Amino acid sequence: MRLTLRTLLAYLDGILEPNDAEDLGKKIEESEYAAGLVHRIRDVMRRLRLGAPSLTDRGPGLDPNTVAEYLDNTLLSERVTDFEKVCLDSDIHLAEVASSHQILALVLGEPAEVDPAGRQRMYRLKEAEGKVKPPPTPAAQSAPAMPDAKRPPRLDLEPSDVAAAGRKPRPKPTVPEYLREPRKKSSWWAAAAAVLLAACFTAVVLMALGQFEPGTSPGNFLARLGVISAPREVAKQGSEVRGQGSEVRGQGSEVRGQGRGLGASVPSGVPDEPVPTPAEDVKTETKGPVPSAPPEQPAPEKSPDGPAESPAESPSSVVPAPTPKTPAVPDKAPGAEVEKQPEIPPVLEQPQLPPEPLGRLMSSEQVLLSDGVETGWTRVAANQMLIPQQVLVPPTYRAKIALTMGVTLEILGGSRVELLGSSARELPGLRVLYGRVVLMPLGKVGSRMRLAFGDRTGTIAFTDAETVVALDVRRRRVPGTDPENGPARVVADLYATTGGITWRESVEGAGGQPLRLAPRQRLSFDAHLTSAPIDAKELPPWIESSPVGALDRRASAAIAEALPTDRLARVGLMELAVSRPQKEVKWLALRCLGYIWQFDDVVVALDDSANKLVWSDFIEELCAAVGRDAATAAAVRMALEKQYPQQAAALYRMLWGYSDKDLRAGDDAALVRALDDDLLAMRVLSYWNLRDITGQGAAYQPEQTAARRQQSVRRWRQRLAAKEIRFQDGVKEAGKNVESPAPENK
């Protein structure tokens, strides 16, 4: 098969036969121009602001009908060359032809579904048109009669004229047999069978559970219908129970209308256990002391010849089942006081208190995102009240918050902080999940707040009104280990730049030993180890200011101006990444999306040769995200699984990093094999790791064809055989911990 623009479009849209597609794929790999054209076609189809050809343009090969003839393979052969030349020279026309071909491939790949009623209506349009006569126009009615000599010839012919002319009437259009839908078979019997089967199954289950036994609602219903027989005791009891609304009078203890059959009396003065009565709408009213019961009736004598009276025939033997809801009032002697039941006070619902206010954002030029439980990440407006929740500052920004505890909080870019509310035993404060913060009291000596990071929680007290405190929290993990399994080691540095502070760590059961930091001293934390206060020779420059480049400064201003506060930050950042033509704005928007667990666009860019110059930036951003925390690492993994389901595990492993132990175990061979993988993203990531390990590139270019990559791949295989794929500087040897990159303002 020849390699032309039409066959190339058919190959990209997947409408070729398998053999032809394989043959054409080999030709594309061997031709550098064809491979570049493939990437160019994919690029122009994704460009939203490319535009469309002008309808008034009448240049050669620019007619829309010509495009249709070319796609339908009916264009004259002598015009095909000129048409393809126009497409190859113009991105607009190339995008139009490629997009139209893709749409046709999708539409024509499946049979069209037409409503039968709509099809019949369309076939009757011609017939309806002949039956409807247009009404006479006013001009024709008011026009004066013209002599026959000056009357223009009549153009429309009546049906009689058609018959006179000998023309055959047009046959009525009918629906072709192959377009007619088959007559649908009735499926009511299948539905009836399914309902009957479900009813039988339900009946069997209820019968097995005893739901049809007497005493249950279904059993009583079936007993009334005569389907099953109820026990004599239940039947007798049901016939005797009458008058559920009667009341117990204080005049005596005789219960009227209940049909309970309580023949035995309780002797006066001898308290007995209360006889429980059913709680079926029984209203008990007690007035004054309860008199004694009537004298006990003699028990009926048993007949020696006749059978003993059954419990169902004796009213006194019918004792209802006890229920704890409404116990009967026991009989008391005359004058005895009725024991009052203790009243249970009603439970009052506690009113829901509003969230505790903790601070306000002081600047509208900075971007601060808050995580709502139901709404997700949204931008915080200036002077908006902050409550206990997580907040995030994207890269290149430095948000300043005035806390209600009398402290100014500055959160640097790339940091996530949780604002903590107060309780009966704890002060309000904040938890630094990762990143950098600066704390300054608002001119008040003795301000105290709670500060937490990792597994540590403590109280910090500002001993001077001019105190400035800085905290840097990051994570360490062993390279090559799964970032989602096991907690990472949290490393933190607490600085006192000016003034002094007191740090008291909360220990289970009691407070820890207070540590005092003088100006320009540092306190280091590594997992569960705490160093003594040491003098800091040089303070980090980020405490005073965060240096931002010119491009990032321009991009941050554009995003701060355009990002709305009434919508999800994810939606606004995605729109900025697509709609803005400036590369710095798109890059910063993608970095901000990574901090709210959105990595789809960054992952897709690894498989596009158009992003060759920024591959390293994308990979470094993904590696930093994997080491940030377990939730961010899981978001990267899910983005890879969504875009590359088959190679996601291998790609995710390449982002963990390597140690010499891993390389000796065979990971070096896996990296070299990935250099010749069919997926571009696999080649890009493996080459980036090999270059990071050895510091050499061997003139390898992942975007080239397999034929052009052979020589450089052969060199990497020789290094693999010589066991030269090892870390040269010893910084990342096995067992050494590698810190996750600190947030930087690039």
Amino acid at 624: A
- Give CA–CA dist 359/387, Å, rounded: 7
The answer to whether residues 33 and 13 touch, using CB atoms and an 8 Å cutoff, is: no
Residue 740 CB coordination number (10 Å): 21
Is 554 within the bounds of a domain? no
- Please tell me the distance from the alpha carbon of residue 314 to that of residue 263, in angstroms, as a whole number: 9
Rounded to a whole number of angstroms, the CA Rg of the chain reads 44
Kindly report, residue by residue over 410-437, the tens digit of the pLDDT: 999 999 999 999 988 889 999 999 999 9
- Closest by CA to 354, choosing from 263, 421, 419, is 421
Q: What are 477's strand-pairing partners?
A: 738
Q: What is the pLDDT of residue 156?
A: 44
602 and 534 share a domain? Answer: no
The answer as to whether 297 is a domain residue is no
What tokens does 219 get? 């059993």
Quote the pLDDT of residue 298.
46
Torsion (CA) 574, 579, 583, 589 in degrees, nearest 10: -20
Contact 262, 275 (CB under 8 A): yes
**What length is written for the chain?**
746
Whether residues 445 and 508 share a domain: the answer is: yes
Q: Within 13 Å of residue 679, how many CA atoms lie on the same side as its CB?
A: 20
Tell me which DSSP letter residue 304 carries: S
If asked whether residues 507 and 426 sit together in one domain, one would say yes
Chain centroid offset of residue 21 CA = 38
Distance CA 407, CA 444 (A): 9
Place of tokens 């001898």: 270
Domain annotation covers residue 12: yes
Question: Cα(414)–Cα(490) distance, rounded to whole angstroms?
Answer: 17
On whether the CB atoms of residues 96 and 9 are closer than 8 A, the answer is: no
Straight-line distance from the first to the last Cα atom of the chain, in angstroms, rounded to the nearest whole number: 50
Hey, what amino acid is at 280?
Answer: E
Indicate whether 538 and 644 sit together in one domain: no
Domain-ending residue, one of 81, 108, 135: 108
In the chain, the number of structural domains is 3
Residue closest to 377 by CA, chosen among 596, 586, 593: 596
- Helical (H) or strand (E) element with 522: strand 521-526
Q: Which residues contact 442 (CB under 8 A, 6 or more apart)?
A: 402, 406, 407, 408
**How many Cβ atoms are within 10 Å of 49's Cβ, its own excluded?**
7
Question: What is the predicted pLDDT for the residue at 725?
Answer: 92
DSSP at 214: B
Give the C-alpha distances (Å, rounded to integers) separating 336 from 120, 287, 330. 94, 12, 11
DSSP three-state, residue 734: coil
* Contact of 255 with 286, CB cutoff 8 Å: no
For residues 629 and 705, membership in a common domain is answered with yes
Going from the C-alpha of 504 to that of each of 451, 452, 461, 498, 555, the distances in angstroms are: 10, 11, 9, 19, 41
CA distance 526 to 464: 27
- Same domain, yes or no: 614 and 514: no
User: How far apart, in whole angstroms, are the C-alpha atoms of residue 692 and residue 655?
Assistant: 12
Residues 6+ apart with CB under 8 A from 178: none
Q: How far is CA 648 from the centre of its chain?
A: 20
Please, which residues bridge with residue 468 across strands? Answer: 498
- Which residue positions in the chain have pLDDT lower than 70? 49, 55-62, 110-112, 126-187, 209, 211-212, 214-215, 225-353, 508-511, 698, 729-746
Asked if 501 contacts 470 with a C-beta cutoff of 8 angstroms, the reply is no
Structural tokens at position 467: 């105190």
| DSSP state, residue 745 | -
232: in domain: no
CB burial of residue 78 (10 Å; 0-12, 13-18, 19+):
exposed
Range of the domain at 726: 597-739
In a domain, residue 296? The reply is no
CB 700 within 8 A of CB 734: no
63 falls within a domain: yes
- 256 occurs within a structural domain: no
pLDDT of residue 545: 85
pLDDT of residue 131: 59
Q: What share of the chain is helix, strand, coil (3-state, %, to 5)?
A: 35, 15, 50
Domain end residue (candidates: 543, 569, 588): 543
Q: Are residues 538 and 412 in the same domain?
A: yes
Does 485 share its domain with 608? no
In the chain, the amino acid numbered 144 is P
Kindly state whether residues 601 and 725 are assigned to the same domain.
yes
Q: How far apart are CA 394 and CA 27, in angstroms?
A: 46
User: Which residue among 50, 76, 108 closes a domain?
Assistant: 108
Q: At 546, which amino acid appears?
A: S
529 and 622 both lie in a single domain:
no
* Residue pointed to by tokens 């006569």: 133
Task: State whether 617 and 695 are in the same domain.
Answer: yes
**Residue 167, exposed/middle/buried by CB under 10 A (0-12, 13-18, 19+)?**
exposed
Nearest Cα neighbor of 436 from 403, 407, 405, 413 is 413
Same domain for 605 and 532: no
As a whole number of angstroms, the distance between CA 72 and CA 684 comes to 39
DSSP conformational letter for 666: I
Check: CB of residue 702 under 8 Å from CB of residue 680.
yes
CA distance 140 to 498: 100
The CATH number of residue 530's host domain is: 2.60.120.1440
For residue 82 the two structure tokens come to: 């000129």
The CA distances from residue 533 to 466, 470, 482, 511, in Å, are: 20, 14, 34, 19
The answer to whether the beta carbons of residues 442 and 408 sit under 8 Å apart is: yes
In the block, residue with structure tokens 């011609």: 126
Per-residue model confidence (pLDDT) at position 511? 55
Strand partners, 451: 430, 458
What pLDDT is attached to residue 31? 84
Could you say which DSSP state residue 539 is in? -
- Asked whether residue 453 is assigned to any structural domain, the reply reads yes
